[in-house]
Amino acid sequence: MEAVTAMKPLIRVAAISGSLRKGSFNTGLLRAAIELTKESVPGMQIEHIDISPLPLINTDLETNGTYPPVVEAFRQKILEADSILFASPEYNFSVAAPLKNAIDWASRSPNVWADKPAAVVSAGGGFGGGRSQYHLRQIGVFLDLHFINKPEFTINAFQPPQKFDAEGNLVDEVAKERLKQVLVSLQAFTLRLQGK
């Protein structure tokens, strides 16, 4: 009798980078995560959501409970996702302004972050963006985002050996394996919260 392997349900992940820079290491982490899901994390599909078109949050832009079309489209992507993957650079010991802006738009009524599982990864100097992660987790408490606790993922992009190429692509194999473990943990946590 042949063993039957149960297929995992598809987990749709909205991936958001807090850096708008073309060669961003944090955006590079999201590209690596997308590739990893194709190669070795079946049942997970990651879509990078570009936050650069979002206007600065301004409630004057809200009209009769609706938002500008670009904001509505962003909010819909978050609403449709099963879970969220943040790539959070650290600016002045905290979350970068573009990411906070995106978070604030999606938190407007109704809050589309609520009850979503989430994970955060960071690349940078020093602590590798770790301080921004703790601030993001604090924000998540109010938003009802449920972050995985482990594994944590930070990477010092400037410390040898080279972690990223000139285009900001992750080339370090050890880091890729660590990133894969974050994805596996997010997948398992999402399924658990969905009761599957």
Residue 65's φ and ψ, nearest 5 degrees, are 80, 10
Residues 156-167 have a mean pLDDT of 92
For the chain, the structural domain boundaries read 11-193
Alpha-carbon radius of gyration of the chain? 17
pLDDT of residue 126: 84
Question: Does 3.40.50.360 match the CATH number of domain 11-193?
Answer: yes
Are the beta carbons of 148 and 185 closer than 8 angstroms? yes
In contact, 117 and 149? CB cutoff 8 Å = no
Please report the pLDDT score of residue 9 as a whole number: 82
Is the model's pLDDT at 159 over the cut of 90? no
The dihedral through the CA atoms of 144, 149, 153, 156 has a sign that is positive
Rama region for 119: left / alpha / beta (φ>0; ψ in -120 to 50; rest): beta
pLDDT at 139 over 60: yes
What mean pLDDT do residues 19-38 have?
A: 96
Residue 7 confidence (pLDDT) above 80: no
Residue range 107-126: mean pLDDT, rounded: 96
C-alpha torsion sign, points 55, 57, 61, 63: positive
**C-alpha 3, offset from chain centre:** 35
Mean pLDDT taken over the chain: 94
Q: Could you write out the DSSP letters of every residue in 75-116?
A: HHHHHH-SEEEEE--EETTEE-HHHHHHHHHHHSSS-TTTT-
List pLDDT tens digits, range 54-63. 999 999 999 9
pLDDT tens figures, 60-114: 999 998 999 999 999 999 999 999 999 999 999 999 999 999 999 999 999 999 9
Two tokens at 68?
């500008």
| Cα dihedral 26, 13, 80, 146 sign | negative
